[in-house]
Amino acid sequence: MIWCVFDRDDNTNAMLSKAKQVAIKEGYQIAFSNPSFEVWFLLHFNNQTTPVENCEAAIKLLKKKGRLEQYEKNKEVYEQLKPLQEAAIDRARQILDPLIEYDRRREGVLLETLQIYLIDCDCSYKQTAALTYTHQNTVQYRVRKAMSLLGGNFEQAAALSAVFHAICLYRQDPQMFS
């Protein structure tokens, strides 16, 4: 499975729409970072559960001592992050644990609904309802329930960042979260 992750802050809606069309045509999975991909990098260094307002704030946190002090957008950081990848995955697991456990105990579909809502439908209740053949009020209830379990307000992009990246990782390989 090949994933393409796009940073929203450097692309217009038209550019992102075109990227999505090409990815679908080529059979790639696609995710848009919300509000910045740097939040995923932060998970390599700490349990980033507090909201990060924007890309500049995320970069400022990344440049703290002992992290990616020389970080710049579009600069290669893979080799620096690779040894910390397991820790980042563990932190992503911790973020989603309450939701995964809730679904396990109740044979629920909150995590599935949240994946579709965040990744496939760009946080649209209406589109999620259409894609899941579920009433829009049910989708809204599920997303709000997930929000309460995860302790965030998904109406605010800053609070959504770490959850979004954890959801993308879960979708890539659900077995990592077992």
pLDDT in tens, 87-136: 999 998 999 999 999 999 999 999 999 999 988 888 899 999 999 999 99
Q: CA-CA distance, 37 to 104, in Å (whole number)?
A: 29
Helix/strand/coil for 4: strand
Question: Comparing 28-42, 79-93, 116-130, which segment has the lowest mean pLDDT?
Answer: 28-42
In the predicted structure, residue 11 carries a pLDDT above the cut 70: no
| Range list of β-strands (E), 41-95 | none
Residue 67 has pLDDT above 90, yes or no: yes
The neighbour count for residue 74, using CB atoms within 10 Å, is 7
Buried b (16+ CB within 10 A) or exposed e, 97-111: eebbebbeeeebebb
* Distance (Å) of CA 113 to CA 63, 108, 145, 172: 35, 10, 11, 16
